[in-house]
């Protein structure tokens, strides 16, 4: 396949050759491309090529009402959409000084953590598939579907929920919802040992991922790595704890870390996070019945809502890392500027290019999946 803008270049004679890794490639995550130069099996240099999923979100948001953008934001990251809605809502609430009711905050945390569990389950499947194991992807996707069922019950949408709006959440939970979520958490927790046997005690996976794609803490800090990938290098930084939003400072959870910084460590961190997320969900389920009150603060007529002049840089911890929104209002019907800082903007471009260089060709896919790079966040 030779795209029309591809110019064949004559290189000086060498054993090096060029390989287009993506966009139509089973080893690439989403619609993304890497041009790698290889010498034998060794990657000499890599060049990321994005933009296949570019929709111009930031431009679209400038042309739509504040409330219309709620439907746009979850589309920026498909596997983990809830943090996008929450982050955008938090930014607007910060600017306009809306007080979110207590119950809505807890409900948001419940969704955020469920979405994190779903994204991590999906991640296990994807990462294992790059090492040639397909059972975890069958398991992960099937277990993730059970979470999507709960989301569907809550909001009517399996993948895109659009349940969080500025001022709170759209409506209260249906009757018996907490019990069903609780049963789901029990099931997931009982499944974790099975995942351990399948993935983390499996020699195929262990030997394939241990010591591959290593970054140390200094490099990670210099390259702007965040989220689970940073925690896999031993630095316990989490936006939930260090820059708390919603009610995370009232919750009891740990920040799991690993020291080796390889693909194995990144997966293990996510596995421990899964357990912590289940723990957080349990706390929310225990606390929610005692928290009464409305789930939505009254907002002005959303079709003629002029958010007051102001700016906000809001951050949340998504399953992939630090997600931030810069929102600027000049007092108009529409935002003047919304800037989305997706965590993968770092991971999928600069970090990936540097990490695969010097490695082997068969590890390129694994490194990309182990970083949990999400191309739509890069392209926006």
Rounded least distance, CB 224 to another protein, Å: 3
Three-state DSSP class for 312? strand
Rounded least distance, CB 301 to another protein, Å: 5
Q: What is the 3-state secondary structure (H, E, C) of 130-184?
A: HCCCCHHHHHHHHHHHHHHHHHHHHHCCCCCCCCEECCEECCCCCCCHHHHHHHH
Structure tokens at 203: 């020699």
Rounded least distance, CB 54 to another protein, Å: 5
CB closer to another protein, 138 vs 187? 138
Cis peptide before 355 (omega within 30 of 0): no
Rounded least distance, CB 288 to another protein, Å: 26
CB closer to another protein, 4 vs 290? 4
CA 340 – CA 48 distance, rounded (Å):
20
Rounded least distance, CB 289 to another protein, Å: 30
CB closer to another protein, 167 vs 376? 376
CB closer to another protein, 8 vs 190? 8
Rounded least distance, CB 251 to another protein, Å: 17
CB closer to another protein, 101 vs 140? 140
CB closer to another protein, 241 vs 282? 241
Vertex 255: Cα angle to 147 and 29 (nearest 5): 50
């Amino acid at each position: 396949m030779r795209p029309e803008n591809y110019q064949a270049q004559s290189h000086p004679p060498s054993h090096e050759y060029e390989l287009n890794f993506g966009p139509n490639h089973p080893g690439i995550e989403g619609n993304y491309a890497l041009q790698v130069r290889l010498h034998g099996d060794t990657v000499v240099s890599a060049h990321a090529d994005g933009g296949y999923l570019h929709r111009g979100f930031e431009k679209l948001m400038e042309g739509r009402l504040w409330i219309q953008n709620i439907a746009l934001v979850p589309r920026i990251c498909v596997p983990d959409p809830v943090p996008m809605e929450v982050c955008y809502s938090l930014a607007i609430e910060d600017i306009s000084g809306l007080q979110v009711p207590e119950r809505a905050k807890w409900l948001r945390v419940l969704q955020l953590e469920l979405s994190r569990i779903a994204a991590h389950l999906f991640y296990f499947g994807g990462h294992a598939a790059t090492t040639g194991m397909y059972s975890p992807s069958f398991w992960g996707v099937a277990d993730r579907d059970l979470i999507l069922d709960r989301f569907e019950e809550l909001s009517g949408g399996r993948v895109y929920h659009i349940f969080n709006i500025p001022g709170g959440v759209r409506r209260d939970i249906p009757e018996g919802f907490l019990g069903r979520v609780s049963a789901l958490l029990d099931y997931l927790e009982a499944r974790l040992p099975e995942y351990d046997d399948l993935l983390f005690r499996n020699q195929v996976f262990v030997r394939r991922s241990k010591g591959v794609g290593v970054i140390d803490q200094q490099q990670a800090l210099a390259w702007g790595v965040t989220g689970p990938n940073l925690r896999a290098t031993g630095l316990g930084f989490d936006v939930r704890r260090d820059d708390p939003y919603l009610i995370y400072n009232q919750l009891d959870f740990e920040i799991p870390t690993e020291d080796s910084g390889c693909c194995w460590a990144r997966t293990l961190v996510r596995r421990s996070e899964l357990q912590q997320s289940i723990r957080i969900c349990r706390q929310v389920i225990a606390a929610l019945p005692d928290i009464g009150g409305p789930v939505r603060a009254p907002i002005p007529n959303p079709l003629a809502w002029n958010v007051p002049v102001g700016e906000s840089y809001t951050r949340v911890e998504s399953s992939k890392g630090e997600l931030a929104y810069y929102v600027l209002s000049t007092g108009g019907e529409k935002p003047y500027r919304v800037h989305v800082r997706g965590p993968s903007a770092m991971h999928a471009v600069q970090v990936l290019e540097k990490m695969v260089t010097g490695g082997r060709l068969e590890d390129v896919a694994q490194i990309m999946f182990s970083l949990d790079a999400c191309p739509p966040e890069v392209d926006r």
